[in-house]
């Protein structure tokens, strides 16, 4: 017999030894927790505490709990089903999700706990009825091009280039979080949705209901946390490679970008700048004066970022101390060698607060004191040489039961200690994530992917699913990590395509191990990690340099718009890089699109992702009008369009109210990138007229402008007429009202639809 207990915000069901509790947890949402025996653990692994009221009723063998528009019903009156099967409904009475039907004589269990040796841990399977007509998105980062996860099986484990963030959004109006860091898997089958945890103490998941993807995402992010506000430097161009081996290398690159007047926000110093892995300091032979290096780069407007690895070489000056303090991951069987790379290494245990503080103290002393405050948290899965999850134990528990926590706790340590030390967080680049990583300022990148068009295609889907899973700050190695010769025409084509994609990604960052590699030797003659071939924009020939430079300029011009998009991510949890369905959920054709995306609400990006292609089909979502900025021709949404373009085109729609009021932007470098917005419009005008002589040299001489902070200017059109902004052959035509200022910083993304195509006729601009 089932016993129901009502609480102020929960409904509890006791069925034999099993205890199950449904708790109102956030707006229109429930947390469901169950154990086969013993007490419930209501600690919040990823969910933030909430205080949400609910309505609970129990009558005639049925119990029901309601929170806003979400209702959960437990039926227990069928003689053949006494398990207390859960069903979830929205306010309209539509069934959103239900546990698996026992199937009569089949006696299937929706919640199956199989005891493991050692006590207190179970192999768990949770089964729900399949939803063959639904579309699913989210779940983190997997190296595949699949847009709709329905019909797939995913491993719930962290690996290099794979990040398990187990939240999915369903097209039928709900979101679901598997609130469990255990290693496992999920199958989105047509007949069953089945979750597995290899070792856990209880069932724990969270579900929310919403009318739109944006509402679901907002409710989800409210209970798992949102990203802080992205610093402005994060929106620029990041230069990186494997690796700048010396201080002279770093300064040479910084100086040349400065001489070429190509803006770089962040310059990255990769691994093995240290004497031994785990020393957490510069090798003075290669970096004799880090403070002077950082100061010079700062004069160029460049911030330095250094790589930090969680591996501790057994020869490191910190190894014995950390081992004695119990700060390293424990190996259950065999020698304590968790990764072999330039020696025998163990990982520091990021789930241990003492270990996090220990590493931060070393980093602050040896990098922060030199003026370097940005850190690249590499190897964050962590990357065991052998992914034998049964052989390792964290401070938080066995890797089987807690393994997916590691990347979140890794970045958490830096985030919390940065705030304590400096009063504010910085952007930390990290190679993996779990639920809640975003609230610790994690900029996740997609790992050590290969320099192929297939990998480029994979990144679009990976970034879109990460955004839906709650990780808005995301990037890739532009050009891919493994491979690529700067003098290879095929690689140059790939790099240009990837660069075009990267310019409209949440963060624009080039990186890779370019070939051939050059050996590097320490002062004592010992060989250390090699350095790759050049990977700067001028490294691939003058034609490619011109293209890449242009996209860096375009990226700079997008900053005001990107700031608004990042603000939305911070305030509402909206992804920066969005699937088409996010803004157009009623357009069923938008759900399976896997090679286009929205940057914010209004820029539609359709990159070229196949070698040799010079044109592609673009789907224009229904529900908006789209304008070809090259021709001025308007297109209705809901159709596919085949286009040929030379480099990049901004497709603009001025909104439904007034297509004659159009505003764009120009920079002090003379590059023009029109961004359109309808009235009402109240510009903030800076009347400082200094240094504006050449900022709009490509525009009509009758244009006047005023300088804005950061190099932006506001050209004002004196009469109503058509103006052409011409940039290397791309003609962008907009109609401007009398006296209307052209200003990007006042762009209103809620009223405009912009499409961007990236395609090349040849590798020149």
* Candidate ranges 92-101, 661-670, 707-716; pick with highest mean pLDDT: 92-101
- Whose CA is closest to 128, among 63, 33, 176, 193? 193
**pLDDT tops 50 at residue 430:** yes
Residue 339 belongs to a domain: no
CATH code at position 742? 2.60.40.1180
Residue 313 belongs to a domain: no
First to last CA, the chain: 75
Last residue within a domain, chosen from 199, 224, 249: 224
Give catalytic status of residue 313 as yes or no. Answer: no
Q: Mean pLDDT in the chain?
A: 86
Is 53:42 a contact under the CB 8 Å cutoff?
A: no
pLDDT tens-digit series, residues 251-295 = 999 999 999 999 999 999 999 999 999 999 999 999 999 999 999
Q: Is the pTM of this model over 0.85?
A: yes
Is 617:469 a contact under the CB 8 Å cutoff?
A: no
Domain match, 514 and 406 both = yes
Residues in the chain: 765
Catalytic entry in 349, 378, 595, 668: 378
Domain match, 89 and 165 both = yes
Please give the pLDDT value at position 357.
Answer: 98
CATH code at position 7? 2.60.40.1760
Residues with Cβ within 8 Å of residue 539, at least 6 apart in sequence: 486, 514, 533
Domain match, 742 and 595 both = yes
Please give the pLDDT value at position 77.
Answer: 57
Residue 342 belongs to a domain: no
Domain match, 596 and 673 both = yes
pLDDT tens-digit series, residues 496-555 = 999 999 999 999 999 999 999 999 999 999 999 999 999 999 999 999 999 999 999 999
Please give the pLDDT value at position 19.
Answer: 96
**pLDDT tops 90 at residue 360:** yes
Give catalytic status of residue 388 as yes or no. Answer: no
In which domain, by residue range, is 450 found?
Answer: 232-308+351-391+402-572
Please give the pLDDT value at position 643.
Answer: 62
Domain match, 556 and 595 both = no
Domain match, 218 and 256 both = no
In the DSSP assignment, the letter for residue 100 is: P
Please give the pLDDT value at position 756.
Answer: 56
Least confident window among 74-83, 355-364, 625-634, 706-715: 706-715
Residue 127 belongs to a domain: yes
Mean per-residue pLDDT, 462-471: 99
Say how many domains are in the chain: 3
Distance from CA of residue 396 to its chain's centroid?
25
Q: CA-CA distance, 656 to 44, in Å (whole number)?
A: 46
For residue 658, name the pLDDT band (cuts at 50, 70, 90).
very low
In the DSSP assignment, the letter for residue 539 is: G
What token pair was written down for 753? 């639809």
| Strand 153-156, strand 184-188: pairing | antiparallel
Residue 314 belongs to a domain: no
Please give the pLDDT value at position 629.
Answer: 52
Domain match, 239 and 216 both = no
- Whose CA is closest to 412, among 469, 473, 357? 357
Last residue within a domain, chosen from 224, 258, 282: 224
For residue 603, name the pLDDT band (cuts at 50, 70, 90).
confident
- Whose CA is closest to 372, among 308, 319, 439, 327? 308
Residue 397 belongs to a domain: no
**pLDDT tops 50 at residue 763:** no
Last residue within a domain, chosen from 159, 189, 224: 224
Please give the pLDDT value at position 543.
Answer: 98
Please give the pLDDT value at position 127.
Answer: 98
What token pair was written down for 356? 């996090």
Catalytic entry in 12, 75, 194, 381: 381
Q: Which residue's structure tokens are 């856990």? A: 200
C-alpha torsion angle, residues 34, 40, 41, 46 (rounded to 10) = 30
Domain match, 661 and 561 both = no
Which of 62 and 670 is assigned the larger pLDDT? Answer: 62
pLDDT tens-digit series, residues 201-229 = 999 999 999 999 999 999 999 999 999 99
Please give the pLDDT value at position 741.
Answer: 27
Catalytic entry in 448, 477, 493, 714: 448
| Per-residue CA distances from 196 to 153, 421, 501 (Å) | 11, 41, 35
Mean per-residue pLDDT, 479-496: 98
pLDDT tens-digit series, residues 11-36 = 999 999 999 999 999 999 999 999 99
Please give the pLDDT value at position 745.
Answer: 25
Residue 340 belongs to a domain: no
Residue 328 belongs to a domain: no
**pLDDT tops 60 at residue 431:** yes
Domain match, 268 and 162 both = no
Name beta bridge partners: 653: 753
Domain match, 207 and 121 both = yes
Domain match, 25 and 153 both = yes
CATH code at position 246? 3.20.20.80
Domain match, 604 and 516 both = no
Give catalytic status of residue 448 as yes or no. Answer: yes
**pLDDT tops 50 at residue 689:** no
């Amino acid at each position: 017999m089932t016993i129901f207990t009502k609480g102020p915000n929960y409904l509890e069901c006791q069925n034999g030894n099993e205890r199950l509790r449904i708790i109102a947890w956030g707006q229109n949402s429930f947390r469901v927790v169950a154990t086969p025996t013993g007490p419930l653990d209501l600690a919040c692994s990823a969910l933030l505490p909430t205080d949400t009221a609910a309505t609970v009723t129990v009558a005639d063998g049925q119990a029901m709990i309601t929170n806003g528009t979400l209702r959960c019903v437990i039926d227990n009156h069928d003689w053949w089903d006494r398990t207390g099967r859960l069903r979830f409904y929205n306010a309209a009475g539509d069934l959103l999700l239900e546990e698996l039907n026992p199937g009569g004589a089949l006696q299937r269990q929706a919640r199956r706990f199989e005891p493991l040796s050692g006590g207190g841990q179970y192999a768990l399977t949770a089964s729900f009825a399949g939803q063959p007509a639904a579309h699913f998105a989210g779940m983190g980062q997997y190296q595949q091009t699949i847009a709709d996860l329905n019909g797939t099986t995913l491993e719930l484990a962290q690996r290099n280039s794979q990040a398990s963030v187990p939240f999915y959004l369903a097209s039928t109006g709900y979101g679901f979080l598997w609130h469990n860091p255990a290693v496992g898997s999920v199958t989105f089958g047509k007949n069953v949705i089945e979750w597995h945890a290899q070792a856990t103490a209880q069932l724990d998941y969270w579900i929310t209901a919403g009318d739109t993807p944006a509402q679901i995402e907002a409710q989800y992010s409210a209970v798992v946390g949102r990203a802080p506000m992205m610093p402005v430097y994060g929106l620029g161009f990041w230069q990186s490679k494997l690796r700048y081996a010396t201080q002279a290398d770093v300064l040479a690159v910084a100086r040349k970008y400065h001489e070429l007047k190509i803006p770089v926000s962040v310059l990255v110093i990769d691994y093995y700048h240290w004497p031994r892995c785990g020393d957490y300091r510069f090798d003075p032979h290669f970096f004799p004066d880090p403070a002077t290096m950082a100061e010079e780069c700062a004069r160029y407007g460049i911030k330095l970022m250094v790589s930090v690895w969680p591996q501790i070489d057994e020869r490191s000056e910190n190894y014995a101390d950390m081992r004695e303090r119990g700060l390293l991951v424990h190996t259950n069987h065999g020698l304590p060698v968790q990764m072999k790379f330039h020696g025998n290494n163990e990982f520091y245990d990021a789930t241990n607060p003492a270990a996090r503080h220990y590493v931060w103290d070393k980093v602050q002393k040896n990098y922060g004191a030199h003026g370097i405050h940005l850190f690249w948290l590499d190897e964050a899965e962590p990357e065991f040489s052998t992914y034998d999850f049964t052989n390792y134990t964290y401070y938080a528990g066995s890797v089987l039961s807690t393994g997916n926590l590691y990347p979140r706790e890794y970045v958490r340590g830096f985030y919390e200690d940065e705030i304590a030390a400096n009063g504010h967080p910085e952007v930390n680049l990290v190679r993996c994530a779990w639920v809640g990583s975003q609230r610790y300022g994690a900029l996740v990148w997609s790992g050590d992917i290969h320099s192929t068009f297939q990998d480029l295609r994979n990144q679009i889907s990976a970034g879109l699913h990460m955004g839906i899973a709650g990780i808005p700050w995301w990037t890739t190695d532009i050009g891919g990590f493994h491979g690529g010769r700067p003098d290879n025409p095929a690689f140059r084509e790939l790099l240009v395509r990837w660069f075009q994609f990267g310019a409209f990604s949440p963060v624009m960052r080039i990186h890779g191990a370019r070939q051939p590699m050059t050996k590097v030797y320490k002062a004592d003659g010992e060989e250390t990690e090699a350095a790759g071939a050049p990977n700067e924009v001028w490294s691939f020939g003058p034609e490619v340099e011109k293209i890449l430079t242009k996209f860096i300029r375009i990226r700079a011009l997008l900053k005001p718009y990107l700031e608004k998009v990042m603000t939305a991510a911070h305030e509402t949890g909206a992804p920066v890089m969005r699937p088409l369905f996010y803004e157009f959920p009623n357009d069923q054709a938008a759900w399976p699109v896997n090679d286009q995306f929205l940057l914010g609400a209004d820029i539609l990006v359709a990159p070229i992702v196949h070698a040799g292609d010079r044109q592609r089909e673009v789907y224009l979502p229904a529900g908006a009008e789209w304008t070809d900025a090259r021709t001025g021709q308007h297109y209705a949404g809901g159709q596919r369009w085949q286009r040929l373009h030379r480099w990049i085109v901004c497709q603009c729609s001025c909104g439904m109210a007034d297509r004659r009021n159009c505003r764009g932007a120009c920079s002090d470098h003379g590059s023009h990138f029109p961004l359109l917005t309808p009235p009402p419009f109240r510009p903030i005008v800076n009347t400082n007229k200094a240094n504006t002589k050449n900022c709009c040299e490509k525009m009509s001489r009758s244009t006047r402008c005023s300088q804005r902070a950061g190099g932006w200017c506001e050209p004002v059109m004196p009469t109503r007429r058509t103006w052409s902004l011409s940039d290397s052959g791309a003609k962008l035509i907009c109609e401007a009202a009398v006296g209307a200022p052209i200003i990007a910083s006042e762009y209103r993304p809620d009223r405009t639809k912009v499409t961007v195509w990236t395609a090349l006729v040849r590798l020149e601009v």
